[in-house]
Amino acid sequence: MMPEPPPRPITLAFSGDVLLHMPVNQQAALYGSQAGTPFDYRPMFEPIRPIIEKADLAVCHLEVPIAPDGRLTSYPSFGVPPQIAVALAQVGYDGCSTASNHSLDRGYPGVVRTLEELDAAGLAHAGTARGLWETGPAWYPAGESGREIDIAHLSYAYGFNGYRLPTEAPWAANQIDTERIRADAASARSSGAELVVVSLHWGTEYRHDPDAYQRTVADHLLPSPDIDLVIGHHAHVVQPVELVEGTYVVWGLGNQISNQSQAPRRDGLTVVATANAGWDGRWRVSGIEAVPTWVEAGSYRVLPVASTLGDPTVGVGLRAELNASYNRTSGIIGSRSAPGVRVSPTVQP
């Protein structure tokens, strides 16, 4: 009898901050008026659907809570429409990380409403919780049919903008504590996870270089036999991808969508990690494809830069913005030259 061939590699996609300022919501309301719904975010995410749907597992970072009472708010304390959950599911995401500095903007009711809407949309989640039973990882099966592996995803934030965890719900949002994270990852591994991914909301806003806090946290977490990939958010600009003690650390993915108008804050990154089963049967992340994205002003469409540049109908102005964005992002990723990391090449029209 011939030995069974090794399982095919699997791909895991992670994207930047979903940060819904009021102008983004207003544009979604306009799209919604055309689609017969109060808010429609799908046109904004539609351009990246091919990337998200292609991955075996795709996880977003929903930085802001859904308004528990329907009253929409924006910076500095967010509460957003529930239709965002539907759009994220329909574009192909399987789940979201939810631990961020804005997790408690609308209190514990905001946490509950957010997770209810994610559940209703069929999206898994990690980082915030309605009870102790929900404080662990999100679990995802991924891979070829009949040979799926279990992936555990954990999510934590550095803090909550001065909001305190409710005394009656101290587990409502996960805060970065390296000892706890190592213990949670070990628990996930012992519970059967073949890959463990940790999302961290950390760093200094608008700074491309990882700061001392990020590096200290990473140094305390790695190396670890239980953590296979670290995904970073919060800086609102793209940060590098490095190998830290043999583990890929994506320091910061920038914004996937927001109303921050400065050019570097309209740059984003979706990373597609490839994992393979080794000779010993253990799954490991073997490489990272960095897919630059750009938020188009006005429409708030999230454009995959490299493939959009291959469209001959793209106008001169947008083409110039996309080229500048690609050069910024590829320069940041290339500045560390981590083995196994590549930036999606541009396609000529």
Between the CA of residue 178 and those of 75, 193, 244, 318, what are the distances in Å? Answer: 29, 19, 15, 43
Q: In whole angstroms, give the CA distance from residue 306 to residue 342.
A: 13
pLDDT of 182-232, one tens digit each?
Answer: 999 999 999 999 999 999 999 999 999 999 999 999 999 999 999 999 999
pLDDT of 123 > 70? The answer is yes
Q: In whole angstroms, give the CA distance from residue 29 to residue 72.
A: 12
User: What per-residue confidence (pLDDT) applies to 163?
Assistant: 97
* 161 neighbors 105 (Cβ within 8 angstroms): yes
Q: Which of 150-154, 173-177, 345-349 has the lowest mean pLDDT?
A: 345-349
**What pTM value is reported for the model?**
0.97
Q: Which of 44-58, 298-312, 328-342 has the lowest mean pLDDT?
A: 328-342
Banded pLDDT at 347 (limits 50, 70, 90) = low
pLDDT of 248-292, one tens digit each?
Answer: 999 999 999 999 999 999 999 999 999 999 988 899 999 999 999
Banded pLDDT at 147 (limits 50, 70, 90) = confident
Domains of the chain: 10-343 (3.60.21.10)
Q: In whole angstroms, give the CA distance from residue 302 to residue 296.
A: 7
Q: Strands (DSSP E) along 161-228, which ranges?
A: 195-201
pLDDT of 86-98, one tens digit each?
Answer: 999 999 999 999 9
pLDDT of 3 > 80? The answer is no
Read off the pLDDT of each residue in 152-157 and give the average, rounded to a whole number.
98
Q: Strands (DSSP E) along 171-254, which ranges?
A: 195-201, 229-233, 241-244, 247-250
Banded pLDDT at 1 (limits 50, 70, 90) = low
User: What per-residue confidence (pLDDT) applies to 60?
Assistant: 98
pLDDT of 46-70, one tens digit each?
Answer: 999 999 999 999 999 999 999 999 9
103's CB contacts (< 8 A; 6+ apart) are 65, 111, 127, 128, 157, 160, 172, 173
- How is residue 111 annotated by DSSP? H
pLDDT of 71-85, one tens digit each?
Answer: 999 999 999 999 999
* 345 neighbors 291 (Cβ within 8 angstroms): no
Q: In whole angstroms, give the CA distance from residue 275 to residue 282.
A: 10
Find out whether the peptide bond into 76 is cis, omega within 30 degrees of 0: yes
304's CB contacts (< 8 A; 6+ apart) are 47, 48, 50, 51, 270, 291, 292, 293, 344
**Residue length of the chain:** 349
pLDDT of 335 > 90? The answer is no
User: What per-residue confidence (pLDDT) applies to 346?
Assistant: 79
User: What per-residue confidence (pLDDT) applies to 348?
Assistant: 62
Q: What is the mean pLDDT of the chain?
A: 96
H helices then E strands: how many in the chain? 10, 15
User: Long-range contacts made by residues 274-281, C-beta under 8 angstroms, separation at least 24?
Assistant: 274/9, 274/10, 274/11, 275/9, 275/10, 275/11, 275/12, 275/195, 275/228, 276/9, 277/6, 277/7
The residue written with tokens 């509460």 in the block is: 79
Read off the pLDDT of each residue in 9-14 and give the average, rounded to a whole number.
97
* 48 neighbors 272 (Cβ within 8 angstroms): no
Q: In whole angstroms, give the CA distance from residue 251 to residue 230.
A: 8
Pairing type for strands 341-343 and 302-304 reads unpaired
Compute how many other C-beta atoms are within 10 angstroms of the C-beta atom of residue 265: 21
